[in-house]
Amino acid sequence: MRRQGPAEVQSGDTAMIGRAAEVALLSSAIRGVRETGAALLLRGDPGVGKTALLDWAEEYARQADFRVLRAVGVEPESELAFAALHQVLYPLLDQVESLPPVQQAALNRAFGADDGAAPDRFAISAAALALVRQAAETQPVLLVVDDAQWIDASSAQVLGFIQRRVCTLPVVLLTAARVGWRNALDLAGVRTVEVAPLTHPESAALLARVHPDLGPATVQRVLTEAAGNPLALVEMPARLNQRQQRGIDPLPSSLPLGERLEEIFAGRIRSLPEAARHGLLLAALAGSGAGGLRTVRAAAHGWEGWDEQALQAAEASGLITIDPEREEIVFRHPLVRSSVVRMTPPGVRRAGHRALAEVLVTDPRRQAWHLADAADGLDESAAQALEHAAASALNCGGAAEAAAALSRAADLSPDPRSRARRLVEGAIVAVHGGRMDVAERLLQTCEGEALPVDPMRRATAAAFLMFHRDGDLEGVHRTVASVLDGIPESEQPDPIVDDALFVLMRACLSLGRADLWEPISRALDKGSPYVRLCYDATADPARTAHTVAERLRATIADLPSDLPPWQARWLILAAVHIDAFSDFADVWRGLTSRSAYAIQQMAAASSFYDAYLHGRWDEVEAIAEEGIERARINGDRFQVHVMHYAAALVSAGRGNDGRLAVLNTEIADWARPRRLNLLLGLVAETNARAAVTRGAYEEAYAHLSALTPPGVLPPFFPYFHRIFLDLVEACVRTGRITEARAHMTVGQQARMDAISPHHALILAGSAALAAEDESADQLFQYALELPHAEQWPFEQARIQLAYGQWLRRRHDRSQARIHLRRALTTFRCLKTEPWAKRAAEELRVTGVAPGADLAEGMSALTAHELRIAELAAQGMTNKEIGRQLHLSPRTVGAHLYKIFPKLGIASRGALRDALAGEVESR
């Protein structure tokens, strides 16, 4: 049965009153779906007509032969992971068996159909997308999400995943949400349509259409009180008696609006038989979605006076509609649901929750919440059920749901120690989920009641909050270090010890002082086996990281299938500090897909630097933009500035000094009063990189030598290698050859080339730059011939540029051109104009003028595409290229399909000429 919206005023093909612009946007998106998918967000106050617009779009799409998938967010289900996703996919679940086994298993576990390990979030998202894509192969799809503010966080992330890909599918995604909504549904970049109240003339036209017999005085009063809210305009007059409607009898002193509007529904609810009201209550408490009718019927059997016809009266009153095919009860408006719950006496409400809990034995998470809401006072059994629900939510990445469950469990705990433990653990989980406000409230409750809290738990929770929200990392260090020594070693460490060690390690990294690492070094054996691995990679890598890559590889190869997601943070941190993040991309994807906000943000911070190293600078910009927005929403100030650094790296490399100055000022102004030497060092790094980019080598030397004097690798300086090449080059270009060689020598003595292939390239390139003339040729060739050197295109291109300059000075123009051309091509792909200009000028001196057509074509290639093109130009097959770059032959072919038109060629045979397309100067 079709749902009518609050302002549904269609008559034939007459548009909804006051919504011509919105209807035009919706119809345009639906009509254009075969050319490109679309996503729109309708945002407005309750009752303003968002649902009516969605209903209009649904009917319009059905007439255009769309498949419609719809979900409605419901407040009682906002803490139930994947509840909304189940609504969306319910009509497609009979097609799950057509999916790959991994995706089948992920969906079945997410929906509770199968037991087993926690589902992989990426697999769930991929499976959901696959089902939608499969449906769209036979007919276009309209995906409708109403009341998105109540969508559970887990579903929201999956729907966000689909939203970011609809442009490539014949799919239209329409979302409606209230003003001020905030949840995990990431709609960054989605066009937002503000559904505003109707104007006075539009309100009058709507009122005249739906209530043509109102008297003039009543019309004016309703128009004034409704203030353009379509739901109020439709419903207010309907609750007046006929004499009041016609203006014969006086109107009430105030017409209901907002919460008062609920009373209109309440009157209608009170007029129903008791059994129907009981059925409505169970439906309101149970939440929406397919199968809800079955649950309500099962729960209602024990209620006096219930019969199978009880809900028909409620449907006849217009409060609900029943979809027998989906066995779904749909409320006329969310305010109806609120009215039903609020007007029910507390005892009856608790009985309703108890009845639902009794029938939801196969859904323990929902059952736990109903047990909690059925409790009359403290109830340890309900608290334990919620604690188990929290653990289950955490296992599938539902940190926000887990924090809510632990908070409610604490409220129900009769034992003060149990209450304290649940409050503190809820605070830690809330921080991991990016909810600093929730964490602060839970900790304040704990402190305000002077509860008996375990010192380690209290310290760790407070430390996480200080780290992310305040940036008070010295406070983090004091708080955690003071309790670590009292923790005994154990064969099965308490996970809270790992939490404490992790936040302390990140504080030490960020404060950048060697003396602060001692408490961690004493406690390395008190945590999980991954702690020491991470410590060796991060604390003082110049002296301890040489075996980390091998140990990390062995550790990941032996990872247990049920590894808790939070353990991934140690491995991610270790990998990123040896520049090996991309070596284990599939592992991180699997682990972080079911992890909370904090781990996902750490993975994002790692992925941006990995993308920077591998020449995907536009991707870095995108990660930074999204990361800054998300961190600001979550109140994570530290992460905001980490993402500022990501943007600063690209700005420095591309010579965008104005933007760099703004970003670095933001970072420094926040970091300086907090004495966060890491962030201040990153500012110096990017300022130095920008100076090298524009050839201001004295300025670069001043920035870099303040961080690490030439010839010295300071202890506990985790990022020494990131500035190594810049410092050596700055020394060489300013005539400080002795200092350059001293720094290169100390790198060799530290065996930094044994840490990772990237470290090896940096050291080899630095050695070539600082070498005597007679040995430079061999050293440059050695650096450029290192295995996988092409994985780091910026450093490789800088070494090629330096080698080309050296060869030109030696009058070997032919060989110089080869390396200068390669450097120029890479710099153009990276869109770094200053470096490209430098390479082009060197190339002209050799007698070659870079062609404009080449510049245009090359600038359209990514660094990754360029590398594939170069290998193909050498005569390598797709299979051989794929083996070298860890890609499938099909993926290589897809890249070449994109490369050919960018270079203006039609075949593989033209690649060599296209890549060497400069013309000799005359």
What average pLDDT does this structure show over 877-902? 81
Let me know if 466 is exposed, middle or buried by CB neighbors in 10 A (0-12, 13-18, 19+). buried
Q: CB of 306 within 8 A of CB of 93?
A: no
For residue 248, the enclosing domain spans 200-257
Residue 815: Cβ within 10 Å count: 16
- Contacts of 669 by beta carbon, 8 Å cutoff, 6+ apart: none
67 pLDDT exceeds 90? yes
Q: Is residue 310 part of a domain?
A: no
Q: CB of 870 within 8 A of CB of 915?
A: yes
226 shares a domain with 152: no
Angle subtended at Cα 235 by Cα 231 and Cα 238, rounded to the nearest 5 degrees: 160
Among the ranges given (112-121, 233-242, 488-497), the one the predictor scored with the smallest mean pLDDT: 112-121
Residue 748: Cβ within 10 Å count: 13
Helix (H, G, I), strand (E, B) or coil at 259: helix
213 shares a domain with 66: no
Q: CB of 255 within 8 A of CB of 225?
A: yes
Among the ranges given (20-34, 154-168, 182-196, 440-454), the one the predictor scored with the smallest mean pLDDT: 182-196
The last residue of a domain, from among 766, 791, 816 = 791
Q: Is residue 34 part of a domain?
A: yes
- Contacts of 34 by beta carbon, 8 Å cutoff, 6+ apart: 140, 170
- What's the confidence (pLDDT) of residue 922? 29
- What's the confidence (pLDDT) of residue 796? 96
Residue 397: Cβ within 10 Å count: 29
Q: Give start and end residues of each alpha helix (H) in 308-363.
A: 310-316, 334-342, 346-359
Helix (H, G, I), strand (E, B) or coil at 293: helix
CA–CA gap between residue 684 and residue 726 (Å, rounded): 12
Q: Is residue 559 part of a domain?
A: no
pLDDT tens digits, 198-221: 999 999 999 999 899 888 778 888
Q: CB of 429 within 8 A of CB of 402?
A: yes
108 shares a domain with 47: yes
Residue 807: Cβ within 10 Å count: 23
- What's the confidence (pLDDT) of residue 647? 97
916 pLDDT exceeds 80? no
7 band by pLDDT with thresholds 50, 70 and 90: very low
- What's the confidence (pLDDT) of residue 288? 67
753 band by pLDDT with thresholds 50, 70 and 90: very high
- What's the confidence (pLDDT) of residue 182? 65
- What's the confidence (pLDDT) of residue 373? 92
CA–CA gap between residue 68 and residue 441 (Å, rounded): 41
> What one-character DSSP code corresponds to residue 415?
S
Q: Is residue 744 part of a domain?
A: yes
DSSP string covering 679-713: HHHHHHHHHHHHHHHTT-HHHHHHHHHHHS-TT--
Residue bearing tokens 């995604």: 173
Query: Which CATH number goes with the domain that contains 25?
Result: 3.40.50.300
183 shares a domain with 48: yes
pLDDT tens digits, 116-144: 666 677 788 888 999 999 999 999 999 99
Q: CB of 655 within 8 A of CB of 453?
A: no
- What's the confidence (pLDDT) of residue 291? 65
Let me know if 280 is exposed, middle or buried by CB neighbors in 10 A (0-12, 13-18, 19+). buried
The last residue of a domain, from among 791, 814, 846 = 791
Strands 171-178 and 328-331: unpaired
Q: CB of 491 within 8 A of CB of 529?
A: no
119 shares a domain with 93: yes
Q: CB of 703 within 8 A of CB of 688?
A: yes
Beta bridge partners of 321: 330
89 pLDDT exceeds 80? yes
242 shares a domain with 100: no
CA–CA gap between residue 280 and residue 290 (Å, rounded): 16
Share of the chain above pLDDT 70, in %: 90
pLDDT tens digits, 585-633: 888 877 766 555 667 777 777 889 999 999 999 999 999 998 898 888 7
Share of the chain above pLDDT 90, in %: 47
The last residue of a domain, from among 664, 693, 722 = 693
89 shares a domain with 28: yes
| Most confident stretch, 39-43, 660-664, 818-822 | 660-664
Q: Give start and end residues of each alpha helix (H) in 810-845.
A: 813-830, 833-845
Q: Is residue 518 part of a domain?
A: no
CA–CA gap between residue 598 and residue 596 (Å, rounded): 6
777 shares a domain with 688: no
10 pLDDT exceeds 60? no
One-letter amino acid identity for 581? F
Q: Is residue 913 part of a domain?
A: no
Residue 40: Cβ within 10 Å count: 21
Count of domains in the chain? 4
- What's the confidence (pLDDT) of residue 12? 32
pLDDT tens digits, 325-377: 888 888 876 567 767 887 889 999 999 999 999 999 888 989 999 999 999 99
| Most confident stretch, 337-351, 627-641, 736-750 | 736-750
CA–CA gap between residue 404 and residue 387 (Å, rounded): 10
Q: CB of 715 within 8 A of CB of 746?
A: no
Which element (helix H / strand E) includes 292? helix 292-300
216 shares a domain with 156: no
As given in the structure block, the two tokens for residue 60 are 């319009």
Q: Is residue 185 part of a domain?
A: yes
CA–CA gap between residue 499 and residue 850 (Å, rounded): 55
Angle subtended at Cα 390 by Cα 385 and Cα 391, rounded to the nearest 5 degrees: 100
As given in the structure block, the two tokens for residue 279 are 């059925």
- What's the confidence (pLDDT) of residue 14? 36
One-letter amino acid identity for 361? V
Torsion of CA 237, 240, 242, 248, to 10 degrees: -100
As given in the structure block, the two tokens for residue 760 are 């090896």
119 shares a domain with 28: yes
If you average pLDDT over every residue of the chain, what do you get?
86
Phi/psi of residue 440, nearest 5 degrees: -65, -40
Beta bridge partners of 908: none
Q: Is residue 52 part of a domain?
A: yes
What average pLDDT does this structure show over 239-253? 72
99 shares a domain with 112: yes
CA–CA gap between residue 446 and residue 227 (Å, rounded): 44
Q: Max alpha carbon distance in the chain (Å)?
A: 108
Q: CB of 396 within 8 A of CB of 81?
A: yes
Residue bearing tokens 């005249």: 208
183 band by pLDDT with thresholds 50, 70 and 90: low
770 shares a domain with 679: no
